[in-house]
Amino acid sequence: MTKPFDMALFLSGVLNGSQATQQRHLRQARAMQAAIQQQWQRDNPWTWQLKHLRWFLTQHLKDHSDASQYYYRLTTLLIWKRLGNDREMLI
């Protein structure tokens, strides 16, 4: 049995802001991880591609409020940055 991917450790280098903000990013990153795992069978962000993040933001969140979509977009940008992509995402 494999250990589940540690999202807190993965994001630890790019998380900033207050403790509440960091916890929100971690909670949202774990929700993203679960949704992408269910849809694409990829639980590790190192295996994610831009299409997975785009799918999450455009399809999975389509019924969420604008504010919720905005905060998930911020979390997505942190994940993208952590993956070593300094360029802005084309979403």
Helices 19-40 and 66-82 pack at an angle, to 10 degrees, of: 80
How many whole angstroms separate alpha carbon 36 and alpha carbon 40? 5
Main-chain dihedrals φ then ψ at residue 44, nearest 5 degrees: -105, 120
Domain boundaries, the chain: 20-82
- So what's the pLDDT on residue 91? 54
- pTM of the shown model: 0.89
Mean residue pLDDT of the chain comes to 92
- The alpha-helical segments, DSSP class H, found in the chain are 7-11, 19-40, 50-55, 66-82
Q: pLDDT per residue over 24-66, tens digit each?
A: 999 999 999 999 999 999 989 999 999 999 999 999 999 999 9
How many Cβ atoms are within 10 Å of 21's Cβ, its own excluded? 13
Confidence of residue 90 (pLDDT cuts 50, 70, 90): low
